Amino acid sequence: MIAVMMGISAFGKVTPNERQAREMFDRIYQMVYGPQGSTFRYSVNIVGLYKTAGTIWYKGNKQRFVESRYASWSDGNRFYRVDKKEHTVELHNPKSKKKDRFASKFTFSPDNYYYHIADSREGFVIMLDAKPGVKSGIKHVKAIIDKITRAPKSLKIKVAFFWTTVNISNFRSGGISDAIFNFPESAYRGYEFIDKRPD
């Protein structure tokens, strides 16, 4: 019994490596999602079954992305999703998981993970493993971080039994205008508007 208790106590301690990994992760997370905003190019590969590439912008609770077929704008109050092939615009609540078919699978809360950092030729490697009891969302993350700029370079994400690879380029933090997130309704006058709210 004493040995078990000692094991639990040791397991609960945060090592210097874990502390360093979490501190670096928090700084990078702030660079991406902070009030200053960020933008970057991405290419996504979900186990070879789904591939896409585009540009995304974040600023607080605002978001925008542009791909070859799809685009979205969210000003924090409304989420517009454009399908250029179907000529439709769906209107959603920005917090709805139904606004994107993959959104509910990639749920993430930073406190739900154990952190570890390592050095490599590609950059710093930050690894996240879901704590016991986390039943849904992201299970594991391997992030490659630029050693000089601290910008994210790539992510390998495990959800359930499949892996997703995200390559990141042209990362910039700061200088993002709020106007970027306003939906340009006049550009889609010929499209069918579908209001999915409340969702």
DSSP string across 160-178:
TTEEEEEEEEEEEES---G
The residue behind tokens 């849904």 is 136
Which of 5-19, 26-40, 71-85, 123-137 is predicted with the least confidence, judged by mean pLDDT? 5-19
Q: Is the pLDDT of residue 29 over 80?
A: yes
**pLDDT for res 147:** 96
**Which residues face 66 on adjacent strands?**
55, 71
Q: How far apart are CA 66 and CA 73, in angstroms?
A: 9
Q: How far apart are CA 11 and CA 5, in angstroms?
A: 10
* pLDDT higher at 108 or 191: 191
Check: CB of residue 97 under 8 Å from CB of residue 82.
no
- Three-state SS letters, 66-79: EECCEEEEECCCCE
**pLDDT for res 97:** 76
Q: How far apart are CA 15 and CA 153, in angstroms?
A: 26
Q: Is the pLDDT of residue 56 over 50?
A: yes
Average pLDDT on 120-125 reads 96
Burial letters 126-141, b for 16+ CB under 10 A, else e: bbbbbeeeeeeebbeb
For 14, which DSSP code?
P
**Which residues face 92 on adjacent strands?**
79
**pLDDT for res 106:** 65
Q: Is the pLDDT of residue 100 over 80?
A: no
Which of 16-30, 63-77, 105-119 is predicted with the least confidence, judged by mean pLDDT? 105-119
Q: Using pLDDT thresholds of 50, 70 and 90, give the confidence band for residue 91.
A: very high
Average pLDDT on 51-67 reads 94
Q: How far apart are CA 179 and CA 36, in angstroms?
A: 13
Q: Using pLDDT thresholds of 50, 70 and 90, give the confidence band for residue 10.
A: very low
Check: CB of residue 72 under 8 Å from CB of residue 81.
yes
Q: Is the pLDDT of residue 3 over 50?
A: no
Average pLDDT on 4-23 reads 68
Ordered structural domains, the chain, with CATH: 16-195 (2.50.20.10)
137 token code pair: 């969302």
**pLDDT for res 82:** 96
* pLDDT higher at 101 or 49: 49
Q: Using pLDDT thresholds of 50, 70 and 90, give the confidence band for residue 122.
A: very high
Q: Are strands 192-195 and 88-92 parallel, antiparallel or unpaired?
A: parallel
